[in-house]
């Protein structure tokens, strides 16, 4: 469990990092928190010839308030997000989900963006950022582009990032007034990747009718899975027992997980239904906030 040979680069600017990535495109990996990459290197599952350590890049370590919400740059640690009253206040889903991400020691090093770029299909953060309609800022020698989370995740461990691109950060918009969120996960052990997880948020008008809804499952498809049929059931409805039951059924039907030694496909599909209902029950029980304030 020792990595193969690689050349280590520690660029001091984004341009320098992009230059190294461009020069070794296809044979370079970006190292941020290293909590997924280093084990893969040690297992020699990944054997890149070049490792580009981005930890010295300036200006990427602190969340930034934007006109529409928050920008979380590439080097913000998961633990920092979890302990940020501003971020978890604005996006309670982040706080809820981060408690399920591995263990504090790992979150101390792991970054939010690193988890997105790694794109494990059973990871919590890609599902949460998808539910939050996050937009990913990506830099390359050709300039900067923005990709919606829904388009970013291509498959398990595969994203829209090109070989010479660097994920700079993720933009998250403030939630509309009247929005409530919840997150439920079931895993074999505390801190494990999810057997299934569901991130949900719903915006209700003053009559309690759902006007906007996101339900995203993790661990049951190659990417975070929008449970669109379940969302459709809820749009225009109140979160009463019959709506919850219908959405639950729809969610279980549209999940198409695969089975493995830990759990059958059927078990995971049932789990999506159960977790969806629990998420919706939380949301139904909560009083929607009138107006979200920010620090």
Partner 1 sequence: MTTTEPRTQKMIGASVLRREDRRLLTGAATYLDDLELPGCYEAAFVRSPHAAARIVSIDTSAAAAMPGVLGVWTGADLPEIAKGIPPKVVHPQLRDVPRVPLPADFVKFVGEPVAVVVATSRYVAEDALDLVEVEYDVLPAVSSTGAALAASAPLVHEGAENNIAIHVVQTAGDPAAAMDAAPHRLRERFTVARGGGHSMETRGVAARFDPTTEQLVVWDTTQSPHYVRNTLAYLYDMPEDGIRVVAPPDVGGGFGPKAQFYGEEAVIPWVARLLRNPVKWVEDRRENFVATMMERTQVHDVEIGFDDDGHILAIRNVFEHDQGAYCAGLQVPMITLSTLPGQYRIPNIHTELIACYTNMVPTSSVRGAGRPQAVVAMERMVDRAAEHLGMDPVEFRRRNLVQADEFPYRVGLTFRDGSPLTYDSGNFPLLLEKTLSAFRYEEQRSLQAAARAEGRLVGIGIAAYVEGCGLGPYEGSRYRLLNDGTVLVTLAAAPQGQGYETVYAQIAADALGMDMDLIRVTTGDTSRIPFGQGTFASRNTATAGPATLQAGQEMRGKLLQVAEAMLKTSAASLTIRGNRVEVTDDPTRSVSLRDIAGAANVGKHGITLAPGILPGLETTVYFAPERAAYASGTHAVAVEIDPETGAIDVLRYVIGHDCGNVMNPMLVDGQVLGGFAHGVGNAMYEEPFYDETGQPQSTSYLDYSLPSSMEVPPVELVHIHTPSPLNPLGAKGAGEGGTIPVPAAIANAVEDALRPFGARITSLPITPPKIVDALSTDDLDGTGPWHG
Judged by the rule CB under 8 A, the positions of this chain that interact with partner 1 are 1-5, 39, 43-44, 103, 186, 188-193, 245, 248-249, 252-253, 261-267, 269-271, 273-274, 277
CB of 185 to partner 1, least distance (A): 10
CB of 48 to partner 1, least distance (A): 15
Closest to 100 in 3D by CA, of 195, 181, 185: 185
Which CB, 46 or 271, lies closer to partner 1?
271
Distance CA 257, CA 273 (A): 12
Which CB, 70 or 193, lies closer to partner 1?
193
CB of 179 to partner 1, least distance (A): 25
3-state SS string for 93-125: HHHHHHCCCCCHHHHHHCEHHHHHHHCCCCCHH
Which CB, 191 or 288, lies closer to partner 1?
191
Q: List, edge to edge, every strand of the sheet that includes 64-65.
A: 64-65, 69-73, 166-173, 135-140, 143-148
Distance CA 172, CA 123 (A): 18
Which CB, 80 or 280, lies closer to partner 1?
280
Element (H, E) at 183: strand 179-186
Distance CA 284, CA 111 (A): 32
Which CB, 13 or 264, lies closer to partner 1?
264
CB of 85 to partner 1, least distance (A): 25
CB of 152 to partner 1, least distance (A): 24
């Amino acid at each position: 469990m020792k990595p193969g040979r690689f050349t280590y680069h520690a660029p001091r600017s984004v341009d320098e990092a992009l230059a190294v990535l461009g020069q070794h495109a296809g044979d370079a990996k970006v190292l941020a928190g290293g909590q997924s990459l280093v084990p893969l290197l040690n297992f020699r599952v990944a054997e890149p010839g070049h490792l580009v350590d981005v930890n010295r890049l300036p200006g990427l370590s602190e969340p930034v308030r934007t006109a529409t919400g928050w920008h979380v740059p590439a080097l913000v640690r998961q633990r920092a997000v979890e302990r940020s009253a501003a971020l978890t206040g604005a996006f309670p889903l982040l706080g809820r989900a981060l408690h399920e991400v591995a263990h504090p020691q790992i979150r101390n090093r792991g970054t939010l963006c690193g988890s997105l770029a790694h794109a494990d299909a059973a990871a919590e953060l890609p599902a949460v950022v998808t539910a939050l309609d996050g937009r990913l800022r990506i830099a390359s020698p050709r300039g900067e582009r923005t990709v919606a989370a829904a388009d970013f995740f291509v498959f398990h461990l595969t994203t829209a990032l090109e070989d010479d691109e660097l994920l700079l950060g993720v933009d998250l918009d403030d939630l509309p007034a009247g929005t409530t969120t919840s997150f439920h996960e079931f895993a074999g052990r505390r801190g494990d990747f999810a057997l299934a997880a569901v991130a949900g948020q719903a915006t209700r008008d003053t009559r309690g009718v759902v006007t906007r809804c996101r339900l995203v499952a993790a661990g049951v498809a190659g990417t975070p899975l929008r449970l669109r049929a379940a969302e459709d059931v809820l749009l225009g409805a109140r979160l009463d027992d019959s709506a919850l039951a219908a959405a639950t059924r729809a969610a279980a039907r549209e999940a198409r997980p695969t089975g493995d030694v830990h759990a059958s496909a059927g078990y995971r599909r049932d789990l999506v239904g159960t977790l969806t209902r629990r998420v919706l029950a939380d949301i139904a029980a909560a009083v929607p906030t009138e107006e979200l304030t920010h620090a």
